[in-house]
Structure 1
Amino acid sequence: MDCGSKSATTGDGRFRVNANGKLLDVWLLVRCLSCDRTGKLTVHERTPVRSLAPAALGGYHAGDPELVATTLLDPLLARRNRFTLDWTGAWRLHTPSAWPDQPWPVEVEVVFDDPVPVRPDRLIAQGLGLSRNGVRHRIKSDTPLHRPTSARFTFTVLPGAPTGLALAG
């Protein structure tokens, strides 16, 4: 944004489409949370009209909320426009109220309803009430636990965790 803030909101989730002959520019309009000014994120620049899918073009004109969300989640758009999404508070690990009565180790599968990137070690630590050091010692997974992911993954809770530990629900 012009004010130097890195905080923005999608505002009304509107696209602006500008035609120049057979070329289109498409921007997603955003509003700064600090100064309330409107800015734009470049979605397409000098793109031939025929190269855009008719459904996408219609979605840009209609301000389709699903297309707004998909556009904002595109990592290439974020890199090109130099922004990151703030996912603070956007996820939580749904867990049972008590440890299951099954033999150790316990295998857990994590599935995402939405593509929210999260570091698995932070998700597990918060969801199971463990420290990140405890996660390092008690959790085994083929997925790197320190790299953000939004893909389904599994992990194994090894013995040593208190069996009376109440999990966050």
Structure 2
Amino acid sequence: MDCRSESATTGEGRFRVNANRKLLDVWLLVRCVSCDRTSKLTVHERVPVGSFDPAELDGYHANDPELVASRLLDPLFARRNRFTLDWKGAWQLDASSAWTDEAWPVQVEVVFEDPVPVRPERLIARGLGLSRNEVLRRIKCDIPLRRQTSAGFTFTVMAGDM
């Protein structure tokens, strides 16, 4: 961001589409939470008008919130524009305390509302109140526990006296 702040920007960005003859530039305008300045993140640069999907171009003109979110969540877009998203506090595992009364083993399905990157071992440890060592000992998962994911997964909690 222009202010060199470590602060986040709002996710309520707006697109700016600029025509230069038959070429379009598209930027995503975001506001810094810290200094309230607006910055331009390049979405497309000097792209022929005819190469755009009409629905996508309409989304840019209408400032479609889903299109804004998809651009901000795109890791290639973030790398190209030299920004990172701060996911601190962006996720939690909603688990009822009733799972401890169920017969063992207990199977849990994790579904993400948004593609927030998280290591399953951390999510499970925090959500179930277990140490990370206990997670590694008691949890059987369909994906590697120590590898970051932003896709849903399933895990099984084994009894504590294994």
What is the TM-score normalised by the length of structure 1?
A: 0.86
The answer on whether the counterparts of 2:13 and 2:31 sit within 8 Å (CA) in structure 1 is no
More helix by share: 2
Among the aligned pairs, what percent are the same residue? 76
Distance in 2 separating the partners of 1:113 and 1:141: 20
The answer on whether the counterparts of 1:11 and 1:29 sit within 8 Å (CA) in structure 2 is no
Give how far 1:74 is off.
1.2
Question: Alpha carbons of 1:11 and 1:121: their partners in 2 closer, same or farther (altered >3 Å)?
Answer: closer
| Root mean square deviation of aligned Cα | 1.8
Question: Alpha carbons of 1:11 and 1:37: their partners in 2 closer, same or farther (altered >3 Å)?
Answer: farther
The answer on whether the counterparts of 1:16 and 1:28 sit within 8 Å (CA) in structure 2 is yes
Structure 1 residues without counterparts, runs of 5 or longer: 162-169
Matching residue of 2:121: 121
Matching residue of 2:97: 97
Give how far 1:100 is off.
4.9
Matching residue of 1:5: 5
What SS does structure 2 have at the residue aligned with 1:8? coil
Matching residue of 1:43: 43
What SS does structure 2 have at the residue aligned with 1:44? strand
Distance in 2 separating the partners of 1:11 and 1:117: 17
Following TM superposition, where does structure 1 have runs of at least 4 consecutive aligned residues deviating by more than 6 angstroms? none
The alignment of Structure 1 onto Structure 2 pairs a total of residues equal to 161
Most deviating of 117-126 and 86-95: 86-95
Most deviating of 74-83 and 142-151: 142-151
